[in-house]
A and B are shown apart, each in its own frame.
Chain A
Amino acid sequence: MMTRSVDSAATPETPDEASFLRDTVRAFRRNRMAMAGLIFILLLVFCAVFVPWISPHDPYRVALDEQLLPPSTTYWLGTDNFGRDVLTRILYGARISLVVGIVPSLISLLIGTIMGILSGYLGGKTDFVVMRLADMMIAFPSLLLAMVVMYTLGANLLNIFLALALVGWASVARVVRAQTLALREKEFVEAAHANGTSRGRIMFDHIFPNVVPTLIVLFSLSIPEAIMWESSLSFLGVGVQPPAASWGLLVAKGKEYMFQNPSVAISPGVAILLAVLAFNFIGDGLRDALDPSMKD
């Protein structure tokens, strides 16, 4: 209680003065793993954005006299089969992998939330149609589905987004629907009805804000999932195409030189591992931080 938040304008007299947001932030900051994860991701984002100024190496320059060098002071993680600096390529790869992690998650979250709230709140036929659609998506082997999309539409970033969103929205919709079912029975929803609030407005103004904590957690948990998906697709050759670099692609290409220079394949693999771990810690931390305020 020693720090006063910026928005403590609300009722300093009431004993329970901590606001929803402040509680969350404080609980999150107490979680060391989550903070470590957050710092790591922020660092990664910073490096990925400013890599042209940070790294002295060109990620695309071919230097056949410097192939597969082991880690050294010039090339911290060694060089690949074209003599390109592995660390620089990992940081460039972070640009794609992070974007692929975040954008499709946002898309599937958006679609899943709309579908889930509509399905849970309206019920009846809408519920039936949406949920059977979601069942189909979940029942279908998602890697296969994503690969089919990539093969038929061609391998580019936009189609990766599309494929991942197509696979991802259904599970979001299920979670959001379940929560909506619980929320629609709450008295404040009935009170809103008694005010003459329309159904659309109830969904948007009353149900949605209460789903947001869940969405934040789902989001942070689906980012590592999407990174893994992109890695899998790139590894299988239907994701990002060379010479562009993404983490999955780096692992896929590096595996051929596993014995000449293991660093080429292992370093991007470790990067994936660390990023996924970091996002998972952040997700866990957020879930714990938001949980006490969710039960009322």
Chain B
Amino acid sequence: MTQDTILSVRGLCTDFSGGRGDVRVLDELSFDVGRGRIVGLVGESGSGKSMTALSLMGLVPQPQGRVSARSILLDGKDLSKLGPAGMREIRGRDIAMVFQEPMTSLNPVRKVWEQVGEPLAIHQGLGRRAIRARVLEMFELVGIPEPKTRLDAYPHQLSGGLRQRAMIAMGLICEPKLLIADEPTTALDVTTQAQILRLMRDLRDRVGTSIIMITHDLGIIAEMCDEVNVMYAGQIVEQADVFELFERPAHPYTRGLLASIPRATEPRVSRRMPSIPGMVPNLAKLPEGCRFGPRCGEAMPICQRAPELKPLGPTHASRCWLNCPQEALSQGDAP
């Protein structure tokens, strides 16, 4: 872990025990988040993006869920060694989270400033006056118009965009080292979406908080992120610098995702929107070998064996046999 890495995750696994035995929903996740960087987690629904966030936060439902990791270093401190009380101190102070639904993420019967200031009350023990003043500053920072009158508003008196701004203010109020944004703009309309994204990038520049951006929208990834982790069925299948990813997508799944972005510039003739056939596999009944194999147009016999995440360059890694020609050759099954 270097000086400018804020979060370093190694071998993060999350298992759920249910009626039909254990299911591994996250499998050996390893990634880094640089100081002041925005790192994207992208994938379809059910790929484990949100579960990654919950696992990092220690919010996986207990006792069904179990999180284990070789190490989760947050600024040098190993979170995987912390107990529930230790994690409670970390949450909201060192790692904060912004949720998808600004409509339901605020308690409907409490005034906005009380909720936005709650982390201060918990982690810094500030009095009401000080909290109010600080919330006002945060409201100004996140660009809530007429912040003074909004302090005493109830959530239903704010629009979706304003609520998400308030949620971001809440996330940043203790100046956390890391902000996890779980689909922060999915529930907003497009113009508000753009404003919120700009705000988050702005705040990253001004406050210096690192951000993990969870989304299924590659447009947001392209817009926001410095690095990207593409997730599929609980694994990271491709890890790359954002330019590298869009220019040289190495994994067939990533290429499929990129191909299925609708483009307004293309003529809308008979061509159907490309999509990836099939669905994310049931984690309890994973296919043998490569998890993407059954949906992959370029599957080979060797794909019956599980591929490893192999580096392709200094800022690029992929979990696909296509990117490992030697081994594929050694099997005698080269494409």
Contacts and interface: CB of A to CB of B under 8 A. Distances in A.
Asked whether A and B interact, the reply is yes
Interface of A: 9-14, 16-17, 19-20, 186-188, 190-198, 201, 205-206, 209-210, 212, 293, 296
B108 A194 contact: no
Contacts of A192: 107, 118
A212 B158 contact: no
B128 to A, nearest CB: 13
B153 A10 contact: yes
A194 B59 contact: yes
A175 to B, nearest CB: 18
B110 A205 contact: yes
B101 A13 contact: no
A194 B150 contact: no
Interface stretch (B73-81, B88-96, B227-235): B88-96
B154 interface: yes
Given A10-B157, A197-B122, A201-B122, A190 B99 contact: yes
Contacts of B153: 10-11, 14
Contacts of B106: 188, 191
B132 to A, nearest CB: 14
B92 A13 contact: no
Given A191-B167, A212-B109, A296 B104 contact: yes
Contacts of A16: 156-157
A290 B219 CA distance: 43
Q: Which 7 A-B pairs have the closest CB atoms?
A: A195-B92, A196-B92, A196-B91, A194-B97, A187-B104, A209-B109, A188-B107
Nearest to A210: B109
Contact of A196 (B88, B99, B167): B88
Contact of B91 (A17, A187, A195, A212): A195
B327 interface: no
Interface in B88-136: 88-93, 96-97, 99, 101, 104-110, 115, 118-119, 122-123
Given A190-B59, A195-B96, A195-B122, 15 more contacts: A9-B152, A10-B154, A12-B149, A17-B157, A19-B154, A188-B108, A196-B89, A196-B91, A196-B119, A196-B122, A198-B88, A205-B110, A206-B107, A209-B109, A212-B109
B283 interface: no
Contacts of A14: 153, 157-159
Interface in B159-174: 159, 167, 170
Contacts of A9: 149, 152
B158 to A, nearest CB: 7
A9 B159 CA distance: 18
B57 interface: yes
A206 B114 CA distance: 11
Contacts of A193: 59, 91
A20 B109 contact: yes
A288 B170 CA distance: 34
Contacts of B159: 14
B92 A11 contact: no
Contacts of A13: 146, 149
A8 to B, nearest CB: 10
B119 A11 contact: no
A188 B105 contact: yes
Contacts of B118: 192, 195, 197, 205
A193 B156 CA distance: 21
A110 to B, nearest CB: 19
A14 B157 CA distance: 7
Contacts of A201: 122
Contacts of B88: 196, 198
Interface string B23-51: 00000000000000000000000000000
B93 A196 contact: yes
A197 B104 CA distance: 17
A196 B120 CA distance: 10
Contacts of A186: 104
A85 B102 CA distance: 64
Contacts of B57: 194
